[in-house]
Amino acid sequence: MKHYWIANPYEDPYLNEGRGIPNVLKRVLEDVFNDLDLTSQNTFDIDEFEFKINGLIISYINTKNKTIYARVKSGKPSMEKELILNNPIIDVYLDFEKYDLSDLKRVVLHELLHIYEIYNRIKGKTKKDLDWFNSNKLIEIRNKYKNDKFLDSFIYVLYLTFSNEINARVAETYSVLIDERSEDYTHVKTTLSKSNAWQKMLEIKNFNFDNYKINKPLCITFFKEYNSLIRPRLKQKFKIFDIPESERDIDFILKNYKYLFDKKVKYFENKLLKLIPEVIEDAKRLNSV
């Protein structure tokens, strides 16, 4: 099946942008799940002012895994009169017989936000993609350190702090909250506090370096490898990306990561809390229809 989204020519997408999620993704998500078909490949064209896609493919793969997860390919950009992203793919893995629809929406919206950000980075020709590059490099090398309790936990929490991940988790939470159709602040906040994204924010907040026995020689190896991958992309010096030569250097790098994690928690929590008035406003509109 093939669907089309046509933008409202009188809507300024920048003035009407949601606080936690782009308004265009709200419309896309609604249509995706109005015609949900797990058993066939779902193909969508999107023709919005700020988001144009030719042949977005969403495929659902039946598994016995209790957790719903997805993989995304960003597709190839082309430029005629305007930028179009061709054939991005979202593969969603779930148990067809035992899945939660709200959780499925959350996962799909998470991946749609990633595609939306990629599209707008290409469109704006922005080079501010350090977090995307960092997260990809971290994923490439993480398995080498999974047997070390501290580094395995640290790498996971570091991944959670990347801006692209935070933005996607904030976006996915919108679908969870709006499904409640609640106009009550306390109820929405309680639902938010039980969300997957809120729990991830708490994982960053509660990560305590002092709870681990830190293998500093192994940390030297890790940060030498990771920072060596990142440094060529830097246009200015960041202390956390120094190449360590000693355990004292590791102490210095980890100290700076503590500051970074604290800063990211505040950013993450603030973005999640800003969803509450947005959801209430949208719930009022939906409930009045």
Cα(222)–Cα(253) distance, rounded to whole angstroms?
12
Give the residue extent of every domain in the chain: 2-125, 130-281
Cα distances (angstroms) measured from residue 92 to each of 33, 34, 51, 68, 126? 14, 17, 22, 7, 29
Cα distances (angstroms) measured from residue 63 to each of 41, 98, 104, 115, 257? 16, 10, 14, 24, 37
Max Cα-Cα span within the chain: 64
Residue 191: what residue type?
T
Q: How confident is the model at residue 128 (pLDDT cuts 50, 70, 90)?
A: low
Cα distances (angstroms) measured from residue 22 to each of 19, 48, 50, 115, 219? 8, 12, 10, 12, 39
Cβ-defined contacts of 145-154 (< 8 Å, 24+) = 145/218, 145/222, 148/215, 148/218, 149/212, 149/213, 150/212, 150/213, 150/214, 150/215, 150/219, 151/215, 151/218, 151/219, 151/222, 153/207, 153/212, 154/207, 154/257
Query: Picking from 123-132, 135-144, 226-235, 271-280, which range would have the lowest pLDDT averaged per residue?
Result: 123-132
**Are 157 and 261 spatial neighbours (Cβ–Cβ below 8 Å)?**
yes
Q: What is the pTM of this model?
A: 0.81
Nearest one of 189, 134, 196 to 169, comparing CA atoms: 196
Residue whose token pair is 């977005």: 56
pLDDT tens for each residue of 200-250: 999 999 999 999 999 999 999 999 999 999 988 877 778 899 999 999 999
Which 8-state DSSP code applies to residue 209?
A: G
**Are 94 and 68 spatial neighbours (Cβ–Cβ below 8 Å)?**
yes
Give the three-state DSSP class for 3: strand
Rounded mean pLDDT, 12-32: 69
Number of helices (H), then strands (E), belonging to the chain: the values are 10, 7
Other C-beta atoms lying within 10 Å of the C-beta of residue 151: 22
Helix H, strand E, coil C: the string for 9-44 is CCCCCCCCCCCCCCHHHHHHHHHHHHCCCCCCCEEE
Residue 17: predicted pLDDT: 42
Q: How confident is the model at residue 125 (pLDDT cuts 50, 70, 90)?
A: low
Buried/exposed code over 3-15 (b: 16+ C-beta within 10 A; e: otherwise):
eebebeeeeeeee
100 has a pLDDT exceeding 60: yes
Strand ranges (E), 19-116: 42-48, 51-62, 69-73, 76-79, 83-86, 89-94
Residue 154: predicted pLDDT: 97
